[in-house]
């Protein structure tokens, strides 16, 4: 028996997976590559898996796009990287692993469906990490074009300045000149000994840089916003991309309609799995639309394509103060459930949703304007601790996706993805609303849908 794949979250059929790579939209489809070990359940022999989708939640599997090439600069692994289009043709910049060396490599699409890739004969396209810097790590790529020049940053770290990104410039993606440290943690009082998986993009006139932070446990994704001056990034604000302990190494793409959509890896490891679950490890987050809020912070909401995944309305009612509904949820089904709680008026300052399990291992989701906090059987699965609602900011709409044990919660301004018990069953949903001091019982509309493709034969 194989572990079922989730309904809305991408996961590989078998084997190990981690970071999303080379996200690109072409021919009406979004292509997602990902770090993949098809023959094992751990991060070893890493190749690039490949899937594509027209709606961001139904994925078609394709053959491996890149596999370690014996004798080549990626003989020990094809690590993370990005996609760019040059001369009308998609290219991949990725990290080739060869023993101790991790160096940038280039490949070019050999067909329109991005199935076959041709490696550049000049690989690695950067022969060594920047000389003269005390490098602690050097891998993963984000690239963009500015006028006639290509730029890429490589992630990593400096021994004395912590997490860092190294900037390079090129006219043709093949020959790169080092242009200095783009940003380093210690220069700005930012966290991280190593910054993996850089993702650099522009929203409006703000430069956004996302780094995946290695700094003790558990690792997490951090956004920074600021400006680029003289080939250096100057961060002004920063924060966590997600309050759960799973979301890591996100990468984003610009959709044809201008939206910026990100996917992150939801970290999982073999040691957490038993029985039939030991057939595949890891998943991607839902597609998240990125935007800057009024304060200039990076926020995310579920991509609107997910609304089309709703199939059957399971629940639709008004809650006053407190409400209980029969709602059966199971980790091991091919169906996902979306739950929405939309406060009416501005009196509701916090809300608690409880997925009640017959065995008592309830999941409690608590949201307020300050963040999302998720507990499972009393154990905290998120970073945020909801402060008492002072000052009494109104809570926004909460959207919860439960899909094969993955729980992903969006509550402005926060998002949190966690993984709950993989054999869980819940039979009741409880909602409880907290209001501003002196206000009457809060009201909210509570809705639930089953979502995902109809199972075959139904």
Residues 405-444 that bind ligand FRU (CB under 6 A): none
Residue closer to ligand FRU (CB basis): 197 or 314: 197
Q: In angstroms, what is the minimal distance from the CB of 248 to ligand FRU? A: 6
x/- track of binding to ligand FRU for residues 220-259 (CB under 6 A) = ----------------------------xx----------
In this structure, are residues 314 and 450 in contact, taking their beta carbons and an 8 Å threshold?
yes
| Interface with ligand FRU, residue 35, by CB under 6 A | yes
Q: Which of 15, 16, 18, 66 binds ligand FRU (CB under 6 A)?
A: 18
| d(C-alpha 357, C-alpha 46), whole Å | 38
- Would you say 270 and 277 are in contact if contact means Cβ atoms under 8 Å apart? no
Task: Select from 129, 273, 233, 220 the least CA-distant residue to 417.
Answer: 220
Residue 161, classed as helix, strand or coil, is: coil
CA distance 361 to 271: 21
Shorter beta-carbon distance to ligand FRU: residue 139 or 260: 139
Residue 95 found at the interface with ligand FRU (CB under 6 A): yes
Whichever of 248 and 449 has its CB closer to ligand FRU, that residue is 248
140 vs 362 by CB, closer to ligand FRU: 140
| Mask for 125-164, x = binds ligand FRU (CB under 6 A) | --------------xx------------------------
What does residue 306 show for φ and ψ, rounded to 5 degrees? -65, -20
Minimum gap (Å) between residue 84 Cβ and ligand FRU: 17
CA distance 321 to 324: 11
The answer to whether 263 contacts ligand FRU (rule: CB under 6 A) is no
Sign of CA dihedral 35, 38, 44, 47: negative
Please check whether residue 431 is in contact with residue 352, taking contact to mean a CB–CB distance below 8 angstroms.
yes
Under rule CB under 6 A, which residues in 166-225 are in contact with ligand FRU? 196-197
Is residue 305 a contact partner of residue 77, using CB atoms and an 8 Å limit? Answer: no
- Token digits for 332? 């091991």
Q: Which of 12, 25, 80, 207 binds ligand FRU (CB under 6 A)?
A: 80
Q: How many residues bind ligand FRU (CB under 6 A)?
A: 14
Taking the least distance from each CB to ligand FRU, the nearer of 19 and 76 is 19
Query: Of these, 7, 32, 46, 167, which contacts ligand FRU (CB under 6 A)?
Result: 46
Q: Are 10 and 59 in contact (CB under 8 A)?
A: yes
Report the residue from 3, 6, 11, 19 that binds ligand FRU according to the rule CB under 6 A.
Answer: 19
Catalytic residue annotation: 19
Question: Minimum distance between the CB of residue 197 and ligand FRU, rounded to whole angstroms?
Answer: 5
Contacts of 244 (CB under 8 A, 6+ apart): 374, 381, 382, 383, 416, 417, 418
Q: Which is nearer to ligand FRU, 79 or 263 (CB)?
A: 79
Q: Is the dihedral of CA 268, 274, 280, 286 positive or negative?
A: negative
| Residues making contact with ligand FRU (CB under 6 A) | 18-19, 35, 43, 46, 79-80, 95, 139-140, 196-197, 248-249
């Amino acid at each position: 028996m194989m572990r079922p794949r989730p309904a809305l979250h991408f996961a590989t059929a078998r084997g190990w997976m981690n970071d999303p790579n080379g996200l690109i939209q072409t021919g009406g489809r979004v292509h997602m590559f990902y770090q993949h070990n098809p023959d094992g359940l751990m991060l070893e022999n890493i190749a690039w898996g490949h899937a594509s989708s027209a709606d961001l939640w139904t994925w078609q599997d394709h053959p491996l796009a890149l596999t370690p090439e014996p004798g080549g600069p990626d003989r020990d692994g094809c690590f993370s990287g990005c996609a760019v289009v040059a001369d009308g043709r998609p290219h991949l910049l990725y990290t080739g692993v060869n023993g101790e060396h991790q160096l940038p490599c280039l490949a070019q699409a050999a067909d329109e469906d991005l199935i076959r890739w041709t490696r550049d004969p000049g690989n690695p396209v950067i022969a060594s990490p920047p000389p003269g810097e005390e490098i602690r790590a050097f891998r993963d790529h984000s690239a963009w074009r500015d006028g006639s020049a290509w730029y890429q940053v490589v992630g990593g770290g400096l021994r004395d300045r912590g997490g860092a990104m190294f900037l390079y410039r090129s006219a043709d993606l093949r020959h790169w000149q080092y242009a200095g440290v783009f940003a380093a943690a210690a220069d700005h009082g930012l966290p991280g000994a190593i910054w993996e998986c850089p993702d650099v993009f522009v929203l409006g006139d703000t430069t956004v840089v996302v780094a995946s932070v290695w700094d003790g446990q558990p690792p997490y994704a951090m956004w920074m916003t600021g400006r680029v001056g003289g080939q250096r990034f100057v961060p002004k604000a920063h924060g966590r991309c997600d309050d759960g302990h799973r979301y890591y190494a996100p990468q984003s793409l610009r959709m044809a309609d201008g939206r910026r959509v990100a996917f992150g890896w939801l970290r999982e490891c073999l040691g957490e799995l038993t029985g039939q679950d030991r057939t595949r490890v890891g998943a991607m987050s839902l597609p998240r639309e990125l935007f800057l809020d009024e304060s200039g912070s990076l926020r995310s909401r579920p991509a609107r394509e997910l609304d089309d995944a709703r199939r059957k309305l399971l629940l639709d009612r008004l809650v006053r103060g407190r409400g209980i509904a029969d709602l059966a949820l199971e980790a091991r089904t091919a169906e996902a459930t979306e739950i929405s709680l939309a406060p009416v008026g501005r009196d509701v300052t916090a809300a608690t949703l409880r997925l009640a399990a017959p065995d008592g291992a309830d999941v409690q989701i608590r949201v307020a304007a300050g963040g999302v906090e998720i507990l499972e059987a009393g154990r905290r699965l998120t970073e945020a601790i909801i402060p008492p609602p002072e000052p009494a900011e109104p809570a926004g709409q909460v959207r919860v996706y439960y899909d094969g044990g993955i729980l992903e919660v969006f509550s402005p301004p926060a998002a949190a993805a966690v993984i709950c018990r993989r054999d869980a069953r819940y039979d009741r949903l409880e909602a409880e609303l907290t209001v501003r001091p002196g206000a009457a019982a809060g009201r909210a509309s509570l809705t639930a849908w089953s979502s995902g493709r109809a199972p075959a034969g139904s």
